[in-house]
Structure 1
């Protein structure tokens, strides 16, 4: 993958070459198209680093060089990856709605929706309960631009062919990714003799399936092309098509506009309603859903026992690396928040600042992975409010999984972000016995960690509100003996989180109900 510097250089070189060629020359047109493509890729790079203004400017330049319906749609979808404040989020959502409404009436030649190359997945991080209208506007615009998207496979209207129930389970993320970690065990656990199961990945993106025991199940690597992928899925004549996640990648989101199976469902890989009429059911762990959870989905909510994720217990390294070897400070209490930059809602800033100021000599450890630039913007937002905390804020780069798990052994307390809880990361922490402080918000995506605690029957680390969260974090940061007791309690009770098949009978009953 090209770096930001390489893309800038490529665009500049093509611009220089185009300037030497006469207007109307085919070679000049090719140079301008190439420059526009480089700028489009650069826009994505800048956006991922949290530079929204730079991303917009690069895409605007690409549009000026090579106008394109797909690029206009993508330009409308750009949102700040690291918003400055709650007010900035609300302003961005209002502006997004205005841009989408303006696009909804646009006429023009049809395109392949895959050219848009973008989704609205960031809406789920905004702490706004209802994103459905914005999603629906986006789906409408995509379908207007690519009328093939809402296609219905012939099997849907035909009598069902006999035989075992035919199930397809689809994701773009059967690679080293949270989705593969969360749901690999589910793929193994389903009964391949009772059901005809096809696991649907994509060409070049099925590496995570190679280590699974998938006896009796078929793996089909789809092409990354919407028409052919639709055709191959429809040919399976599925009774149920389950998307493990929808919203994070554009290809599966656009596939999901089509009716490719008699029943189509999604689960909590990306924990938000899809806004798609073509998705019938949202399968969710009951332990995570609020009482009014059904009102937050356009899909029919089906609550399942357990987690649906049959999650294998990670093995913490023993012994792990020292604090110094991991780049951690030698002294002081360590608060750890090992989440993606997008989960750091501005509402969380005040809590982090008050916690650090409440425990003298404490440190906050952030794990940026490959998203260093975006996490630096999160840190910059925090330090703009509390510059005195700069020596106590630490950002770690990419870590091997063994080193990542070792962080939990050194951390005194893991802090779960407001509004969007840890999922895979919380399970990894609990495998190490690490206490996580959490506040369960109003939506399922803010209640993953609280749901894990419900299964373990542990209440002390679930805060009542934001102030209680801060009080608890400060209290636990100054009472190491109590933290050790909680660590022991988690280790004693965490077996319910791992290799747990409680969801499987209920899920298989759901499959039979779909027939």
Structure 2
């Protein structure tokens, strides 16, 4: 290889990416671009690699470099849109998707992306977030009309290419619009299935009930710990044969544990079409999708009819809208009278928390608070949700908490280079400034911590603050495990009722708020030393009832038997 031959480096880099050698491939692509920045394909190839590594800014820069050299690339505009969405810039992402469609109106992934890009990860104003749901509905209707009019043979390629993930973080009833989304998704996937063709689901056979589980999160992940692990551990193998389809890439000690518990764990089968065949060939009585809406392969498979009975659960806690899903597994602690009205699927609410959650048992390691910018005497108030959980309508709540609980530090979390967290931080800073409050005196954005450090910080914290509108189940359960007092918000929908449901099961409903003023009152009350100590003691005495609830798995087994046998 001539060290100064740019095209040769570019070709070798592309070949190495095809051979799954991304590190060396990136080295040659970077060398090619250093020698000749106008090599559009090299910039494009390196950009797609950065997308896979979630290096959004670098990816966007490379796609723009590729487009500078060769402007008429619909695919480059599409991937630029994806990179911009990763950065949290929905406005510019929409422009990129629309530019792609001007070049190639049949690029269905760009058309799909433009619909999903109506939903910003971090809205800057309450009105923007509220209007984004309506914009999503309008653009979805336009896309549905286009697909029905043009009937592209590649329509199925749109499904799962992007997903309406951020819709769930808007506290509105999305049942109707998600039904339209689900019907369009199943229509597009159904057209593919009829061509293949995908065989009809098998009839029930004698013997054990065959249950398949499809998830991208069979590893150390919130969906695994919250929803699935206890089911895998305790579902009666005398009645059920259980197979897992781990469609994600990650594999760790939890994956290996899962493999030992089930009849078979499938992993690394290839693209979604290979997965569809494997699941169909399994001839399952019931398929369970612990989450639908966070992974492309899972969305595509769940939009197909691969088993006679197909169920979703609350790993992504909002109705799927898919006609191919026959029931939604939730929990009584998270639902209320009339909750069925929020779901397109029949609601199957298991007792209590609906899961057999295992305590981590992690030994806490205290955190150097000074290194986090916490001063001696500060009340530590943990805000442990992802940045997109915090809606702009609630920003004033944190101003009020900071005002009333001084001296304090509200601790939010972010990763290095997390642009969405930066958007949240900037938005909060402006709200604090408008209220004539010193943001830096009361708020810190700190790095995500390892498990033992997070447990240490939970023990050092005065209060764990539930995020209104979209609660955090795993973080709230970890707070309970560490005896950290919680102030919860009881939302309108299941996704806003995790922490309040947990407190309800503990008989501690006095710490559930229904207004901003009431929430701030409860946080201030827990800043009192004697009150805080009393609540910690209550948590120590009562928390065992939340863990290892095998009876909920027995209730799941009863539901599965009835569905599999058609009763």
Normalization by structure 1: what TM-score? 0.90
In the other structure, the counterpart of 2:115 is: 76
State whether residues 316 and 431 of structure 1, in contact with CA within 8 Å, keep that contact through their aligned partners in structure 2.
no
Give the 3 Å change call, closer, same or farther, for CA 488–41 of structure 1 in structure 2: farther
Structure 1 residue 450 displacement after superposition: 1.3
Structure 1 residue 171 displacement after superposition: 0.9
In the other structure, the counterpart of 2:82 is: 44
Structure 1 residue 84 displacement after superposition: 2.3
In the other structure, the counterpart of 1:489 is: 538
In the other structure, the counterpart of 1:272 is: 318
Paired with 1:4 and 1:442, the residues of 2 have a C-alpha distance of: 34
In the other structure, the counterpart of 2:178 is: 135
In the other structure, the counterpart of 1:90 is: 130
Give the 3 Å change call, closer, same or farther, for CA 375–18 of structure 1 in structure 2: closer
Paired with 2:312 and 2:489, the residues of 1 have a C-alpha distance of: 25
Structure 1 residue 144 displacement after superposition: 5.1
Structure 1 residue 318 displacement after superposition: 4.1
Q: Is 2:237 the partner of 1:188? A: no
Paired with 1:383 and 1:13, the residues of 2 have a C-alpha distance of: 33
The number of aligned residues is 498
Matches within 5 A, 1:174-323: 174-182=218-226, 183-202=228-247, 204-207=249-252, 208-212=254-258, 214-221=260-267, 223-323=269-369
Structure 1 residue 282 displacement after superposition: 1.0
Q: Is 2:491 the partner of 1:444? A: no
Structure 1 gap segments, 5+ residues each: 20-31
State whether residues 49 and 371 of structure 1, in contact with CA within 8 Å, keep that contact through their aligned partners in structure 2.
no
Structure 1 residue 272 displacement after superposition: 0.9
- CA distances 1:354-377 after superposition (whole Å, capped 9, x unpaired): 111112221110012467221221
Give the 3 Å change call, closer, same or farther, for CA 108–303 of structure 1 in structure 2: closer
Paired with 1:397 and 1:491, the residues of 2 have a C-alpha distance of: 28
Paired with 1:348 and 1:5, the residues of 2 have a C-alpha distance of: 29
Paired with 2:369 and 2:130, the residues of 1 have a C-alpha distance of: 40
Structure 1 residue 74 displacement after superposition: 1.1
Q: Which has the higher mean CA deviation after the structures are superposed, 502-511 or 247-256?
A: 247-256
CA RMSD of aligned residues (A): 2.4
Specify the SS of the correspondent of 1:134.
helix
In the other structure, the counterpart of 1:23 is: none
In the other structure, the counterpart of 2:167 is: 123
1:355 to 383, 401, 416: 401
State whether residues 364 and 454 of structure 2, in contact with CA within 8 Å, keep that contact through their aligned partners in structure 1.
no
Structure 2 gap segments, 5+ residues each: 1-48
Structure 1 residue 494 displacement after superposition: 0.8
Specify the SS of the correspondent of 2:334.
coil
More helix by share: 2
Structure 1 residue 448 displacement after superposition: 0.7
Paired with 1:324 and 1:70, the residues of 2 have a C-alpha distance of: 47
Specify the SS of the correspondent of 2:333.
coil
Paired with 1:202 and 1:227, the residues of 2 have a C-alpha distance of: 11
State whether residues 111 and 146 of structure 1, in contact with CA within 8 Å, keep that contact through their aligned partners in structure 2.
no
Give the 3 Å change call, closer, same or farther, for CA 101–8 of structure 1 in structure 2: closer
In the other structure, the counterpart of 2:520 is: 470
Q: Which has the higher mean CA deviation after the structures are superposed, 204-213 or 226-235?
A: 204-213
Structure 1 residue 80 displacement after superposition: 0.9
Paired with 2:448 and 2:190, the residues of 1 have a C-alpha distance of: 41
Q: Which has the higher mean CA deviation after the structures are superposed, 60-69 or 245-254?
A: 60-69
Q: Which has the higher mean CA deviation after the structures are superposed, 456-465 or 443-452?
A: 456-465
State whether residues 222 and 232 of structure 1, in contact with CA within 8 Å, keep that contact through their aligned partners in structure 2.
no
Specify the SS of the correspondent of 1:414.
strand
Q: Is 2:91 the partner of 1:53? A: yes
Paired with 1:313 and 1:149, the residues of 2 have a C-alpha distance of: 43
- CA distances 1:396-426 after superposition (whole Å, capped 9, x unpaired): 1232222222221121111111111111111
Paired with 1:487 and 1:45, the residues of 2 have a C-alpha distance of: 44
Paired with 1:5 and 1:288, the residues of 2 have a C-alpha distance of: 38
Q: Is 2:461 the partner of 1:461? A: no
Give the 3 Å change call, closer, same or farther, for CA 430–140 of structure 1 in structure 2: same
Higher relative contact order (CA 8 A, sep 6+): 1
Matches within 5 A, 1:407-446: 407-446=457-496
In the other structure, the counterpart of 1:506 is: 555
Q: Is 2:214 the partner of 1:170? A: yes
State whether residues 209 and 240 of structure 2, in contact with CA within 8 Å, keep that contact through their aligned partners in structure 1.
yes
Give the 3 Å change call, closer, same or farther, for CA 149–469 of structure 1 in structure 2: farther
Specify the SS of the correspondent of 2:237.
coil
Paired with 1:150 and 1:213, the residues of 2 have a C-alpha distance of: 30
State whether residues 56 and 87 of structure 2, in contact with CA within 8 Å, keep that contact through their aligned partners in structure 1.
no
Structure 1 residue 164 displacement after superposition: 0.8
- CA distances 1:109-130 after superposition (whole Å, capped 9, x unpaired): 22263455111121111000x2
Paired with 2:134 and 2:69, the residues of 1 have a C-alpha distance of: 41
Paired with 2:529 and 2:193, the residues of 1 have a C-alpha distance of: 57
State whether residues 188 and 214 of structure 1, in contact with CA within 8 Å, keep that contact through their aligned partners in structure 2.
no
State whether residues 168 and 238 of structure 1, in contact with CA within 8 Å, keep that contact through their aligned partners in structure 2.
yes
In the other structure, the counterpart of 1:29 is: none
- CA distances 1:214-271 after superposition (whole Å, capped 9, x unpaired): 3353111264533322221111111111110111223212211111112111111111
Paired with 2:504 and 2:547, the residues of 1 have a C-alpha distance of: 14
In the other structure, the counterpart of 1:4 is: 56
State whether residues 10 and 38 of structure 1, in contact with CA within 8 Å, keep that contact through their aligned partners in structure 2.
no
Paired with 1:142 and 1:304, the residues of 2 have a C-alpha distance of: 28
Give the 3 Å change call, closer, same or farther, for CA 198–17 of structure 1 in structure 2: same
